[in-house]
Amino acid sequence: MKRRIRKILIGVGALFTAFVLGVTGLFAMWLAGVHVPVASGATYLRVEKIAPLAGANRASGVPNAPFFILLVGNDERPGVGGARGDALHVFGVNPATKQASMLNIPRDTCWSGDKINAGNTHGPRAQANDVGGLVGVPIAYVVDVNFAGFTGLVDGVGGVDVNVPMKMNDVYTGAVFNPGWTHMNGDQALKFSRDRHDFPTSDLVRTSNQGVLILDAMRQLIKQSQSAAGEFKLLALLGRHAALDGIGISDLYKLGRVAFSLNPDRVKSVTIPVTNGQCLGLGAGASSLFADFRDDGVLETH
């Protein structure tokens, strides 16, 4: 019994560390945590199961078919309501090949006569339906985090090391960074993720930078979880601050075993092509990009 519990905890820790952070922010920690009746402390993020995973291996219980997770950084903060999905990133995971890819979705992308980020005002499931409809993939899980949750999570793991791709000096967000590796606390990571005024293509670069933060955080958290102490620290953080909907220990154990097999350095991060305008239409190459992504969760020709 003790051995089984330890395996579960290791799997959960692996899941938590392998998929994380990045939002708007983005964001945030990924799918993991412990099953607690009531999470104590402030709620940092919400994880909602949208649909069952396909292709679960009967012997091990581990999924072997591609599946998709939506990471959402919403803009909820004091004085701003609605919780629009201002950072949207779709992870595709292929357990059979131990590979993953990520599509970064600009918040102003057009969908059903509105900007796609409006879907989150109706809840994570509505946002998942919109993004899944745009890309053509079934979303299995949604991870949703607001401004306060993002900063709390980053500070909770001791900050993140981010490879800043270009100089930033933005008076609107306070993002002031030089290119290269920079250790960021929660407030600094949020400023980095929100900066769009420094760039001619505005939100497109911001969305791409959010992807940089996600993968850099993913690398760091995997390293932190290599010891039992590191695993339990991350689990404790999630146990206190995660709200889990429809997710149990069984889900986390299965997914954790998959997550720990991934190499962040092999995860492709691509921002989808869009046209100019207030509401961004899909640009040339979007259809082939989505087709490449949806067949097995891995970008092979893009």
| Those residues with Cβ within 8 angstroms of residue 270's Cβ, 6 or more apart along the chain or in another chain | 101, 102, 103, 104, 289, 299, 302
3-state secondary structure of 117: helix
Report yes or no: 35 and 248 within 8 Å, Cβ to Cβ. yes
Q: Which amino acid is at 120?
A: N
Q: Nearest 5 degrees, angle CA 233-CA 3-CA 221?
A: 25
What's the CA gap between 98 and 103, in Å, rounded? 17
CA dist 220 → 166, 213, 215, 263, 290 (Å): 21, 11, 9, 12, 29
State how many domains the chain has: 1
Asked if residue 244 belongs to a domain, the reply is: yes
Report yes or no: 174 and 190 within 8 Å, Cβ to Cβ. no
What pLDDT shows up at residue 76? 77
The whole domain housing 30 covers: 2-156+225-294
Asked if residue 220 belongs to a domain, the reply is: no
Tell me the mean pLDDT per 10 residues along the chain, length 302: 43 35 30 34 80 67 83 80 85 92 94 91 91 95 86 85 94 94 94 88 86 86 69 67 73 68 88 90 95 95 90
Structure tokens at 83: 């919780």
Asked if residue 205 belongs to a domain, the reply is: no
What pLDDT shows up at residue 57? 62
Asked if residue 208 belongs to a domain, the reply is: no
Helix (H) or strand (E) holding 211: helix 203-224
Asked if residue 265 belongs to a domain, the reply is: yes
What pLDDT shows up at residue 156? 81
Report yes or no: 145 and 73 within 8 Å, Cβ to Cβ. yes
What pLDDT shows up at residue 26? 29
Asked if residue 169 belongs to a domain, the reply is: no
Tally of CB atoms within 10 A around 250: 11
Asked if residue 211 belongs to a domain, the reply is: no
Number of H helices, E strands in the chain: 8, 15
What pLDDT shows up at residue 235? 65
Sign (positive or negative) of CA dihedral 208, 195, 281, 140: positive
Q: Residue 33: which CATH number?
A: 3.30.420.590
3-state secondary structure of 69: strand
What pLDDT shows up at residue 12? 36
Tally of CB atoms within 10 A around 199: 16
Asked if residue 81 belongs to a domain, the reply is: yes
